[in-house]
Chains A and B, each alone.
Chain A
Amino acid sequence: IAGITQAPTSQILAAGRRMTLRCTQDMRHNAMYWYRQDLGLGLRLIHYSNTAGTTGKGEVPDGYSVSRANTDDFPLTLASAVPSQTSVYFCASSEGTSGDHNEQFFGPGTRLTVL
């Protein structure tokens, strides 16, 4: 069982380019999340999806978009990358969203550098 996979592992991107970070889970979890991790700021939620076909904005959604066409996949797109989007991005999933059903399973992360 792979759990959550993310691709690419790392990427260097020119400012202004479009980029999609991929995330796939094989646990049939209902909810999925995208976080960014920055030194001194901890984890910040970008976007989330409670179930397939629905998405919502997190704490720092500007400059990012997501889609949830099916249960397994939750891609994150940067339409026009800027240097402030340099970060480590983590995808996560959970069985549900309430109580201890919200135990989150994390992917290995994507390290993105925007120049």
Chain B
Amino acid sequence: GNSVTQMEGPVTLSEEAFLTINCTYTATGYPSLFWYVQYPGEGLQLLLKATKADDKGSNKGFEATYRKETTSFHLEKGSVQVSDSAVYFCALNPSGGYQKVTFGIGTKLQVIP
């Protein structure tokens, strides 16, 4: 079946540090890949997405590149801010109709001033 693997954390960084959150997946075919962010007390919201191999999704300074050869979709940001403290979920949607999104366990990021 489909699966998404990411570390649970928490990841603690100082402000302006470089961020990488690893995400690897298992799926047949060519899934779409997503990163969602959940700020404290809120629901998840889409951060970025990529729909085919070598696509790069980007938003709010975050980037992730769809790497089919390594089945990965690592999230990166060059300089994190305190306001980036949240839980980050990697997710995949298999190709084809009537498919269900598979979410990773979520990685908690804490950015300290």
> Which residues from chain A sit less than 8 Å from chain B, CB to CB?
4, 40-43, 45, 48, 50, 58, 90, 92, 96-100, 102-109
Q: Would you call B69 an interface residue if the criterion is a C-beta within 8 Å of the partner chain's C-beta atoms?
A: no
Name the CB-closest residue of A to B102. A45
- Tell whether, in the assembled complex, residue B103 and residue A42 are in contact, meaning their CB atoms are under 8 Å apart: yes
In the bound complex, residues from chain A placing their C-beta under 8 Å from that of B104 are 42
- Tell whether, in the assembled complex, residue B34 and residue A98 are in contact, meaning their CB atoms are under 8 Å apart: no
The residue from A99, A104, A108 contacting B42, defined by CB atoms under 8 A apart: A108
In the bound complex, residues from chain A placing their C-beta under 8 Å from that of B46 are 103-105
Q: How far is the CB of A87 from the nearest CB of chain B, in Å?
A: 14
Name the CB-closest residue of B to A99. B32
- Tell whether, in the assembled complex, residue B105 and residue A42 are in contact, meaning their CB atoms are under 8 Å apart: yes
In the bound complex, residues from chain B placing their C-beta under 8 Å from that of A109 are 42-43
Q: Would you call B8 an interface residue if the criterion is a C-beta within 8 Å of the partner chain's C-beta atoms?
A: yes
- Tell whether, in the assembled complex, residue A45 and residue B8 are in contact, meaning their CB atoms are under 8 Å apart: no
User: Quick one: CB contact mask for B1-26 with A, threshold 8 Å, 1 for yes?
Assistant: 00000001000000000000000000
In the bound complex, residues from chain B placing their C-beta under 8 Å from that of A92 are 43-44
For the complex, give the distance between the alpha carbons of A73 and B42 in Å: 20
In the bound complex, residues from chain B placing their C-beta under 8 Å from that of A4 are 43
In the bound complex, residues from chain A placing their C-beta under 8 Å from that of B8 are 40
Name the CB-closest residue of A to B95. A99
In the bound complex, residues from chain A placing their C-beta under 8 Å from that of B61 are none
- Tell whether, in the assembled complex, residue B49 and residue A103 are in contact, meaning their CB atoms are under 8 Å apart: yes
The residue from A40, A41, A98, A104 contacting B97, defined by CB atoms under 8 A apart: A98
Q: Would you call B113 an interface residue if the criterion is a C-beta within 8 Å of the partner chain's C-beta atoms?
A: no
- Tell whether, in the assembled complex, residue A102 and residue B99 are in contact, meaning their CB atoms are under 8 Å apart: yes
